[in-house]
Amino acid sequence: MTLELYHAEPVANSMKVLICLKEKGIDFVSHYVDLHRFEQHEPWFVAINPNGQVPALIHDGHVITESTVIMEYLDDVFPATALRPVDSVDRARMRILNKFIDETVMPSVSIHAWRRMVPRIVAHIGKEQWERLLARIPLKEQQDKWRAAAADAFPEQELAEATRRVGIAAERFERILARSPWLAGSNFSLADVNAYAHANMAPRLFPELMNARATPRWLDWIERMRARPGVSAAHAMPDRTDPRVRLAR
C-alpha cells in the first residue's frame, strides 16, 4: 500500500485532507506543491491532476482529486476512527453542510482571501512572466479568478455578495451549534473538518460578522477544533509561505 498526498500549506482544501490523515493516524508520503511558485500548473503536476489543483491523493496508483471526495474516500478505505456519522440522517446532514461549505462558504471566503493575498504574490513577478503563468492555468474559470485577483478587479458587487454569504454561514453555524456540539450531530465529522479548513480564520477576515458577541458558539467550536490532536498535527505541517505574502492566521 502506498499513499501519497500532493498538497500545499495546511490551509483550505489541503488542510481538509491533512486533518483527516492526522485524525486517523494514517502514514503517507507528503509532496509539497508550492502554490506561490504556481507549481500546481506545471506540466508534471497537471499530469497528475489535469485541473491543476491541490490536493491530489495517489493511493495504489489511483489518483483521487477534489478534497471533499478525498475525505469520503479516506473514510471508505480506512474506516477505523470513523469521520462520518453512523446514523444515516446525521450523515445526510454532514453532506448537506459539505455542499454548503463547498459551494457557498469556500468561494465566499476565498475571494476575500485572494483579493488580499494575490496582489502581494504577483508584486514579485514581471508582467511577461505573469502572462505566461496565467496562460498555462488549465481551468478557464481559475485563470479568470487569478487575473481578477492580481489586478484587484473583483467587482464590488461580487465582494459584497460574498460577504453577505459569509454572514449567512455565520448564522447557520451558530444555529447548528446551539443544538449539537459538532456540526453534524454529537460527534466530530467531515463537516467540522471542512468548515474549519475554510473558515477558521474567518473571524479575523470578517470581525464584524464573527465575534464573541454575534457567534460565541462558533468561536468556542474553533477552540475545541484547535485542541484536537489531529487538527494541531495538521497545523504543524510545514508552512513555506513567503512572509511577504502571508495572511495573519
Nearest-approach distance from CB 140 to a second copy, in angstroms: 7
Output the smallest distance, CB 31 to a second copy, in A: 19
CB count in 10 Å sphere of residue 16: 27
Say how many CA atoms lie within 13 Å of 106 toward its Cβ.
20
The 10 Å Cβ neighbour count of residue 198 is 25
10 with 237: CB under 8 angstroms?
yes
Region binding a second copy by CB under 8 A among candidate stretches 38-46, 57-65, 182-190, 201-209: 57-65
Binder of a second copy out of 69, 123, 212, 247 (CB under 8 A): 69
Question: Which residues make Cβ contacts (< 8 Å) with residue 237, sequence separation at least 6?
Answer: 9, 10, 18, 30
What does the per-residue mask of binding to a second copy show for 167-206, with x meaning CB under 8 A?
----------------------------------------
Is 34 or 171 the residue whose CB approaches a second copy more closely? Answer: 171
Residue 95 touches a second copy, criterion: CB under 8 A: yes
Choosing from 127, 140, 179, 213, the residue that interacts with a second copy (CB under 8 A) is 140
Binding of a second copy by 26 (CB under 8 A): no
Taken as a whole, the chain contains a residue count of: 249
62: β partners:
59
Task: State yes or no: residue 164 binds a second copy (CB under 8 A).
Answer: yes
Binding status of residue 152 toward a second copy by CB under 8 A = no
Q: CB–CB of 62/77 below 8 Å?
A: no
Residue 160 found at the interface with a second copy (CB under 8 A)? no
Angle at 144 between CA 140 and CA 147, to 5 degrees: 135
* Minimum CB distance to a second copy, residue 238 (Å): 27
Whole-angstrom distance between the N-terminal and C-terminal Cα of the chain? 35
Size of the site for a second copy (CB under 8 A): 23
Write the Ramachandran bin of 235: left for phi over 0, alpha for psi from -120 to 50, otherwise beta.
alpha
Whole-angstrom distance, CA of residue 214 vs CA of residue 208: 9
Selected from 53, 68, 200, 215, the binder of a second copy by CB under 8 A is 68
- Would you tell me which residues interact with a second copy (CB under 8 A)? 59, 62, 64-66, 68-70, 72-73, 76-77, 88-89, 91-92, 95-96, 99, 102-103, 140, 164
